[in-house]
Amino acid sequence: MQLNLTLICFVFGGFLPDAAARREQMDTGQCDLPRSQGELNSFLWTIRRDPPAYLFGTIHVPYTRVWDFIPDNSKAAFQASSSVYFELDLTDPYTISGLASCQMLPHGENLQDVLPRELYRRLKRHLDYIKLMLPHWMTPDQRGKGLYADYLFNAIAGNWERKRPVWVMLMVNSLTETDIRSRGVPVLDLYLAQEAERMKKTTGAVERVEEQCHPLNGLNFSQWGLSEEEQIQFTLAYDSCDVLS
């Protein structure tokens, strides 16, 4: 009989990587595998009760990048748990729809209404450049799975003119060659959710879409440290490597 163990997965890190983190993201080299399980950080906490419950920290990266670095005790806790709860239910179409809706500017506004003209033009040139480069960045495996450049661009950047600046910044941050080559591979928390469903575990979410979106949409410029305009300028400057200057 399976014990009623519970695993709660939550996401480490914030939305805004600093400059050092962005430079590390561009490094496509592989980390060396640890020599023993003892060298691995589990990011697993146990809530001592009968039966126990667990807290496990995940990250929004393709699971294939980190799976070999997740120690056996974390995988065993996932296997043994009958219930698994995530930050959001990314397998629910209503969650995905809600996330898309919350990114939109209110009252029918357009991005060019809220960004300086030159920054908007530079952003548009950058996205045109990304669209041009996408076919060269995609892998044969992605094409074999039916992913095409136009579809992928629209899936990531579709309707970008209507999005709030903060979400456009995050979108641009994900439009790198390294990230594009990983598209089609689920991020770690989505992979665990899919596995939990496949294994007939009880699944759920600890947050609603609005609880995640509204605080981010409500941040003012001083709380970002940089204004949204400056954040977009920094992202564009780093991603474009001055090809658009």
Per-residue pLDDT tens for 85-127?
Answer: 999 998 899 999 999 999 999 998 999 998 888 889 999 999 9
pLDDT for residue 18: 42
The SS3 of residue 17 is coil
The reported pLDDT for the residue numbered 38 is: 64
Read off the pLDDT band of 194 (50, 70, 90). Answer: very high
- The reply to whether 83 falls in a domain is yes
State the angle between helix axes of 117-137 and 149-157 in degrees (0 to 180), rounded to the nearest 10: 140
Asked if residue 78 belongs to a domain, the reply is yes
Give the closest residue to 13 by CA, choosing from 53, 43, 35.
43
16's tokens: 């805004």
Tokens linked to 212 = 């995640």
Question: What's the CA gap between 239 and 235, in Å, rounded?
Answer: 6
Residues 59-81 have a mean pLDDT of 90
| Number of structural domains the chain divides into | 1
The answer to whether residue 60 sits within a structural domain is yes
The answer to whether residue 245 sits within a structural domain is: no
Is residue 99 one of the residues assigned to a domain? yes
Domain that holds residue 110: 6-240
User: Is 184 a member of any domain?
Assistant: yes
Chain segment 28-52, per-residue pLDDT in tens:
445 666 667 666 777 889 999 888 8
Q: Is residue 1 part of a domain?
A: no
pLDDT reading at 233 higher than 80? no
